[in-house]
Chains A and B, each alone.
Chain A
Amino acid sequence: MQFEYSIEGGNFSRAGYASSEVKKKLKQLNVDLQVIKRVVVALYEAEVNVVAHAYNGRMEVEIDKDKIKLALVDSGPGIPDIDKAMEEGYSTATPEVREMGFGAGMGLPNIKKNVDVLTINSVVGKGTTVQMITYI
């Protein structure tokens, strides 16, 4: 089963929409509730990252019997130092974004905690792809 959702950079009022849609699908598929919880928390973090940092992007979802594969592909500034971005509390978010309650520097670490495999590819000036796999 594959789904794709587009994500608009900078539009926080829509942030979370795609994650909620995926959550509904996982509930319909009778995926274990704890698994759904973890996947959705990671997915929401990743979705907000695209909204907060990128110009636009998309969420690709692939669900089969034993795993949930999620990818967030964006066109944006890219991440210059991925290792640094993985540190808790590190954030490059603008003051405006922080004012909205985002940008605490917990995004990527929180994603890592909640999925089984996390792969980040990024090209500065072009964009970032975050891939997450959760085994069911």
Chain B
Amino acid sequence: MKKPDFHHALKIVREVCIGCTHCMNICPTEAIRVTNGKAVLIDNRCVDCGFCYRVCPVNAIIVEQDDFNRIFEYKTRVALVPSVMTGQFPDNITTRQIYSELMELGFTHVFEVEQGVEVLFEAMTEYLEKNSKTKPLISSFCPAIVRLIQVKFPALVDNIINLNPPLDISALYFREQLVDEGHDENDIGIFYITPCAAKIAAVKTPPGENDSPITGVINMNFIFNKVYTRIKQGTGDSCIVPDICSLSARSILWSLTNGESVHAGGRSMAVDEIHNVINFLEQLENEEIKDIDFLELRACDESCAGGVLTTANRFFTVERLKKRAARAVSDTEITDQEGKTGMFRHKEKLKKRMTVQPFEPRSMMKLDEDMSEALKKMKRVEEIGKCLPDVDCGACGSPNCRSFAEDIVQGYSKINQCVFVQRIFEKKGILSPEESINIMKGVWGNEKLDKNC
């Protein structure tokens, strides 16, 4: 096996996996196979979108997070919270209340991810002007999308904007600010409360740069449960009140669908949900879609409000954030105020560190590095394809007949794993029913085939 290029936050717990086909069938990059009765992840294909996590009927797929108690290894413990976090709670619970509970849990500071948006917005506007010849420029906001483009649409990697998302900008800034205030650099732990798996993967192995200013990542549903329990049980009466920086409306809505595109100018579009994005990028590659200046692409339906680690209904989250944005002071007032006291004061310095390395193509599609070998393999895939039923049942352990044919050619599967081919072989006398059973046990484990029917 090749060394994986990516860290993955998604893990399949073998002991829990019952060996069904839900995850394999929904995976948009065909990154899952079933063997020995368990789902297995193909590292270089997975983009951490988390769709498998959503559909697993037995919760065998988990999103690996840092141990919460790790925060106590640091004297200065920062919770870096995205705005969708507040959108998890009912309207009658205030932002202040939520953040106070975070402090009660042990954090010494609560900062909002979107505080980095205004600086990013300015840098992005400059970037769009400077690179207006590249069409379309694609936002680097959603890490699952960045990886999707790297593995499935490698020709489009140069269209991705080489700027850090707000998360990294905020983390960089807060770390420096805390050092300026006298905190020891080594005592600062910045923990991001994530709504999705892809952000974890991006923090652990950033797609465009070498190290992340973020210390650890904690899943939003885990924090939500802790905070909401405290609020429900009324244990947090003596709240420590955090300083809450006011966010602009633009910042509050940035992580939602159209959050970026409405501010990008030119002809800008937003597409959410990864299957929609794949269709869109297919057309873009053919130049069926042309003359778009800016593209905001998000893996989840309703963007981060629909993140796999969120608890609330995504539409209520959007509603709450919109209400919050309506109450927010105007964007220009914020930049004025920020220019005097906050992050905006350091914008020039931050902008210099905002650029990431160009994204590398990492095509997962090729049958072989060498084209003549790839041609030979493709011929075999075509020949094998003719023997397969095109039912896409998944009983062979691959998501569909085409990927099964490729798996055979690559040496990962055998053609007699196909239940239709087995019947044909049995009829011809090449294969006995017992042999068929044994082959199927290899794919699905003993249990499913030792039943007394």
Instruction: Find chain A residues with CB under 8 A from B369 CB.
Output: 30
CA distance A41 to B286 in the complex (A): 5
Asked if A44 CB lies within 8 Å of chain B CBs, one says: yes
Partner of B366, one of A30, A41, A136: A30
Q: Establish whether residues B378 and A1, one from each chain, have CB atoms under 8 Å apart when the complex forms.
A: yes
Complex A-B: 22 CB contacts under 8 Å: A1-B378, A1-B382, A16-B283, A16-B288, A20-B282, A20-B286, A27-B366, A28-B366, A29-B375, A30-B363, A30-B366, A30-B369, A30-B370, A30-B371, A30-B374, A31-B371, A40-B287, A41-B286, A44-B286, A44-B288, A63-B375, A65-B372
Cross-chain contact A65 with B371 (CB below 8 angstroms) = yes
Proximity string of chain B (346-365) to chain A, C-beta cutoff 8 Å, 1 when within and 0 when not: 00000000000000010101
Question: At the interface, yes or no: A37 with Cβ under 8 Å from chain B?
Answer: yes
Residues of chain B within 8 A (CB-CB) of A25 are 378
- In the bound assembly, the distance between CA atoms of A28 and B155 in angstroms comes to 13
In Å, the complex CA distance between A23 and B152 comes to: 11
Q: Which A residue sits closest to B282, measured CB to CB?
A: A20
Q: What is the bound-complex CA distance between A64 and B363, given in angstroms?
A: 21
Return A98 CB to nearest CB of chain B, in Å.
Answer: 15
Residue of B nearest to A47 (CB): B286
Q: Is the CB of A28 within 8 A of B286?
A: no
A119 at the interface (CB under 8 A from B): no
Q: Mark A6-39, 1 if CB is under 8 A from B, else 0.
A: 0000000000100110011101111101101100
Residues of chain B within 8 A of A36, CB atoms compared: 155
Q: Mark A104-120, 1 if CB is under 8 A from B, else 0.
A: 00000000000000000
Contact (A30, B283) CB under 8 Å given A36-B155, A64-B375 = no
B155 — which chain A residues lie within 8 A by C-beta? 33-34, 36-37
Given contacts A29-B371, A33-B155, A65-B375, contact A24 B365 (CB under 8 A): yes
Q: B374's closest neighbor in chain A, by CB? A: A29
Residue of B nearest to A43 (CB): B286
The 3 closest A-B pairs by CB, nearest first: A30-B366, A27-B365, A44-B286
Interface size class of A (residues with CB under 8 A): 20 to 34
Least CB distance from A28 to B in Å reads 5
Which A residues are in CB contact (< 8 Å) with B372? 65
- Docked Cα-Cα span, A108 to B363, in Å, equals 31
Given contacts A30-B368, A31-B371, contact A23 B285 (CB under 8 A): yes
CA–CA, A40 and B371, complex, Å: 18
What residues of chain A lie closer than 8 Å to B283, measured between beta carbons?
16
Complex interface: chain B residues within 8 A of A30 (CB)? 363, 366-371, 374
Residue on B nearest A15 in the bound complex, by CB? B288
Residues of A within 8 A of B242 (CB): none
Q: How far is the CA of A30 from the CA of B155 in the complex (A)?
A: 12
Q: Mark B373-405, 1 if CB is under 8 A from A, else 0.
A: 011001100100000000000000000000000
Interchain CA distance A29-B375 in the complex, whole Å: 6
Q: Is the CB of B375 within 8 A of A1?
A: yes
Chain B contacts for A24, CB-based, 8 A = 365
CA separation between A87 and B372, bound complex, in Å? 38
Give, as a whole number of angstroms, the nearest-CB distance from B330 to chain A: 38
Chain B's closest residue to A3 (CB) is: B382
Q: Is the CB of A41 within 8 A of B287?
A: yes
CB-based contact B378/A29 at 8 Å: yes
On chain B, the residues within 8 Å of A28 by CB distance are 365-367, 374, 378
| Interface membership of B154, Cβ < 8 A | yes
**Given A1-B379, A65-B372, are A27 and B287 also a contact pair (CB < 8 Å)?**
no
Asked whether A33 lies within 8 Å of B154 as measured between CB atoms, the reply is yes
Q: Which residue of B lies closest to A44 (CB)?
A: B286
Q: In the complex, which of the residues A27, A33, A40, A44 has the most CB atoms of chain B within 10 Å of its own CB atom?
A: A27
Nearest-neighbor residue (CB-CB) of A31 within chain B = B371
Name the distance in Å between A1's Cβ and chain B's nearest Cβ: 6
Whole-angstrom distance between the alpha carbons of A16 and B366 in the complex? 21
Which residues of B have CB within 8 Å of A41? 286-287
Q: State which residues 52-73 of A face B: CB under 8 Å.
A: 63-65
